[in-house]
Structure 1
Amino acid sequence: MLRIVLTILLVAFIIFNLKNKNRGGKQLQLNQEVIFVNDIKLQAHIKTSKGDINIDLFPEVAPVTVANFVNLSRRGYYNNLKFHRVIADFMIQGGCPLGTGTGGPGYNFQDEFPAAPDAKYQFNRPGLLAMANAGPGTNGSQFFVTHVPTDWLNNKHTIFGEVVSEEDQNVVNSVAQGDTIEAITVTGDVEKFVEANESLFIQLDDALKNDFPNLVK
């Protein structure tokens, strides 16, 4: 039985990566050391066709990833995209503009993992928000939220948030493939975060407008 379970997990992990292998774009060099995150509290609200998913973001450990997510959300990039991949007892995945798992914002950026092991930032429980990728340094716009603990993903996918409540997790668990992300909004210290890191957001906008000029005004 254990061998069957391990085989299923391995196959899911392989598919998880191969489905994203074609995403590419300009490689951004974003310096997380200069990003201001002191006392920054941010919460994402993912409005879906199944209900709202509220997520506490982790700028303290994944500042580049959170900044990218905030920028794409406020530009309306995620509006009306589909959850293009849902694997029962694993995760829901969205954020592909093509709806195929092969699209992205036209750029990639680095992974972000804790400098020291920290249980808060490990795949040891359900409800974690993380970046989908095609290997190291290939983060773009696709993200996933987990149904269950998935510890084999540790140090392979950047964790940058967690669902707020059991009610939010119930919405995650109800999402089916093809359901819609109607919009994503971020609340909290958004303006403080953006203003303190203005050069980073300018860099993200400059990269985004190459493929999505209508989103950057």
Structure 2
Amino acid sequence: MKYLFTLTLFFLLGVGCGQQIPVSNTDAEVPDLYAGNQEDVPPVSAGIDTPPQSDNTMTNINRTINGQEDLASEYSRAVLHTNLGNITVEFFGDKSPKTVNNFLNLAKTGEYDGTKFHRIIADFMIQGGDLLSIDDSKSAMWGTGGPSYRFEDEFNDEPLVRGSLAMANAGPNTNGSQFFIVTAPETPWLDGKHTNFGHVVEGMNVVEAIEASATGPQDRPLSPIVLESIVLEQ
């Protein structure tokens, strides 16, 4: 499933099902790291064309994926408990409600528990949220996992800078469960390509500790960095 190619101007981060996060701005064309099964996973489009209510607030169908709760109306923060310490994030619930609700629903049902930060690039980002990474026997597939659906982007006016929490994707409107936390001062080449749905408010030292972890092939940590649980906070 891998393509061989030469990196010239930048490194490329493969994040599953053809998902990519370019490390720097460039016009070069680079093939996908993974063929994946992106086309086999139907996007979730419910509510995309539904207009807002007359009072200019979003309807519940605009704020959530089918079957999910509108937890963004109840929770504004979450604490990510890792084996290296805790990271507290605050969400942009009004600016990217569907993305926030997706993350909160996956967290509430324990989908993220036991997943790993499977990709780390120093001075750029740490990446996690692959649901396959719970299973060590599937380590060859880490970076390709996610839920059984994809949903649309929700770009906003928040720039992707150090501490930003954003969705990994395989191109427009292919969000699932994988996310990353930015460690670079700024990443303007990612703005308008990856939904920024929150930012770190406590525990950036833990993010730095994860970032400093030794890595091997595919930027994978040599020692497991586990997202043990997520606690939602109002």
The TM-score, its normalising length taken from structure 1, stands at 0.72
Identity %: 40
Q: Residue 197 of structure 1 corresponds to which residue in structure 2? A: none
Q: Residue 43 of structure 1 corresponds to which residue in structure 2? A: 77
Q: Residue 150 of structure 2 corresponds to which residue in structure 1? A: 108
Residue 34 (1) aligns with residue 70 (2): no
Q: Which has the higher helix share?
A: 1
Q: Residue 176 of structure 2 corresponds to which residue in structure 1? A: 140
| AA of the residue aligned to 1:93 | Q
Query: What is the Cα deviation at residue 63 of structure 1?
Result: 0.5
For the 8 Å contact 1:19–1:102, the answer to whether it is kept is no
Query: What is the Cα deviation at residue 22 of structure 1?
Result: 2.0
The DSSP-based 3-state class of the residue aligned with 2:9 is helix
5+ residue gaps, structure 2, are 1-7, 21-31, 49-57, 64-69, 134-141, 214-220
User: Against the structure 1 CA distance between its residues 113 and 153, is the aligned structure 2 distance closer, same or farther, given a 3 Å change threshold?
Assistant: same
User: Against the structure 1 CA distance between its residues 76 and 13, is the aligned structure 2 distance closer, same or farther, given a 3 Å change threshold?
Assistant: closer
The DSSP-based 3-state class of the residue aligned with 2:131 is coil
Aligned residue pairs total: 173
| Root mean square deviation of aligned Cα | 2.4
For the 8 Å contact 2:14–2:34, the answer to whether it is kept is no
For the 8 Å contact 1:20–1:133, the answer to whether it is kept is no
The TM-score, its normalising length taken from structure 2, stands at 0.67
Q: Residue 53 of structure 1 corresponds to which residue in structure 2? A: 87
Residue 170 (1) aligns with residue 186 (2): no
Q: Residue 185 of structure 1 corresponds to which residue in structure 2? A: 231
For the 8 Å contact 2:162–2:182, the answer to whether it is kept is yes
Query: What is the Cα deviation at residue 89 of structure 1?
Result: 0.7
Q: Residue 7 of structure 1 corresponds to which residue in structure 2? A: 9
1:3-28 residue CA offsets vs partner (Å, 9 max, x unmatched): xxx923xx235786145652532211
Q: Residue 126 of structure 1 corresponds to which residue in structure 2? A: 162
- CA separation in 2, counterparts of 1:68 and 1:164? 20
Q: Residue 217 of structure 2 corresponds to which residue in structure 1? A: none
1:21-44 residue CA offsets vs partner (Å, 9 max, x unmatched): 525322111426413689765101
User: Against the structure 1 CA distance between its residues 41 and 103, is the aligned structure 2 distance closer, same or farther, given a 3 Å change threshold?
Assistant: closer
For the 8 Å contact 1:70–1:186, the answer to whether it is kept is yes
- CA separation in 1, counterparts of 2:115 and 2:229? 8
The DSSP-based 3-state class of the residue aligned with 2:181 is strand
User: Against the structure 1 CA distance between its residues 19 and 160, is the aligned structure 2 distance closer, same or farther, given a 3 Å change threshold?
Assistant: farther
- CA separation in 2, counterparts of 1:96 and 1:141? 6
Q: Which has the higher contact order (CA 8 A, sep 6+)?
A: 1
User: Against the structure 1 CA distance between its residues 76 and 30, is the aligned structure 2 distance closer, same or farther, given a 3 Å change threshold?
Assistant: same
- CA separation in 2, counterparts of 1:179 and 1:95? 12
Q: Matches of residues 141-156 of structure 1 in structure 2 within 5 Å?
A: 141-148=177-184, 149-156=186-193
1:132-155 residue CA offsets vs partner (Å, 9 max, x unmatched): 001001100000001011111000
User: Against the structure 1 CA distance between its residues 153 and 28, is the aligned structure 2 distance closer, same or farther, given a 3 Å change threshold?
Assistant: same
Residue 89 (1) aligns with residue 123 (2): yes
